[in-house]
Amino acid sequence: MQQPFYTKFITVTNHTPFDMDEEDLDPTFKTSDTSDKSINNYFETAHYLDQSIREFFDYLKKSCLIKNTMVVIYGDHYGLTNSENETLAPIVGESSDTWNAFNNVQMQRVPFMIHAPNLKGKIKHEVAGEIDVLPTILHLLGISNRNYIQFGHDLLAHKYRPWVVFRNGTIVSQKYVIIGGKGLKGVVYDRKSGKQIINFTEQEKYEINELAKEGKKSLKYSDLLNNHNLLRFYTPSGFKPVDPNEFDYLTNFKQMENIRQQLKNKSTALISKHRKSTTGLYKTNAIELKGREEEITAIPESVSGNHLTEKKNKSSKKGKKSYNKEK
């Protein structure tokens, strides 16, 4: 693909039921020792994922992609279920005897990390939801979303919506956790202390009622959008509908290869920049891939590209030296 490009990877090892083959386990890693196998396996698979991400970043560095790549890592939903949380409680510094609905809500949190060469390290503790991911990334990339309809908000903006609503109506704000979307009629906790609020001040009553109204309205808009497929009516200026028939892996592969050959020396594809495939730079200790290096790194004949082959033949020594130095 020509740069810049977008790609998405879905990791499934660190996902329920958290099963792993014996050969994939790290004998040096010590997991939890609870009565629940899923919890113990959860940490095993999380460790496996950590190792995989390290390998991925090692490749980004070797291929030099790290210099102009934004990597976004996030979990799309909770890890363990509510039925397992009480057993998990001591591991996260809580008591199984006092575990409650507030604690279950805390377990809905997911990791969300952005890594880019021009970003300074920072951890933000404000409340946000995954609906806010897209506008945040767009703004970091310098892309304005002013003319587009989006439900989310930029997490790094000075003014953004500091609350989220769950599908079941539960609302989490900077100050409150409101269970079940019932407002004052439900159970309300102080978000920072985790203590249930029994006697409300007038200000608290007002704030909680307003949050309940906004949460209900937000879910209503979401339902309208999805249940009535309203995006089919959304055609902003310059919008070109996507034809699914144009998107086929084999066809796109050939299209990308044709573009690369047409551009010749102006191609920004990684394989053009390195004058060879970079798949060999990806090193892994995954046991399933042992002895399959040639099979994995093999590229179809068409990908070599005539212009690249000719260029490599003319300056093979120079190319080899440059490649080894970079590696």
DSSP string, 33-68: --S-HHHHHHHHHHHHHHHHHHHHHHHHHHTTGGGG
Angle at 261 between CA 259 and CA 267, to 5 degrees: 75
- In the structure, what pLDDT confidence band is assigned to residue 325 with cuts at 50, 70 and 90? very low
Burial class (CB in 10 A: 0-12, 13-18, 19+), 160: middle
d(C-alpha 227, C-alpha 257), whole Å: 40
Higher-pLDDT residue of 118 and 317 is 118
Q: Which two tokens stand for residue 14?
A: 């660190």
d(C-alpha 325, C-alpha 177), whole Å: 55
d(C-alpha 136, C-alpha 16), whole Å: 29
Residue 115 backbone phi and psi in degrees, to 5: -120, 125
- In the structure, what pLDDT confidence band is assigned to residue 3 with cuts at 50, 70 and 90? very high
Counted residue by residue, the chain has a size of 327
Task: Give the predicted TM-score (pTM) of the model.
Answer: 0.82
Q: Residues of CATH 3.40.720.10 domain(s) within the chain?
A: 1-120
CATH hierarchy code of domain 1-120: 3.40.720.10
Q: Report how far apart the first and last C-alpha atoms of the chain are (Å, whole number).
A: 21
Look at residue 245 in the predicted model and tell me its pLDDT: 81
Look at residue 303 in the predicted model and tell me its pLDDT: 47
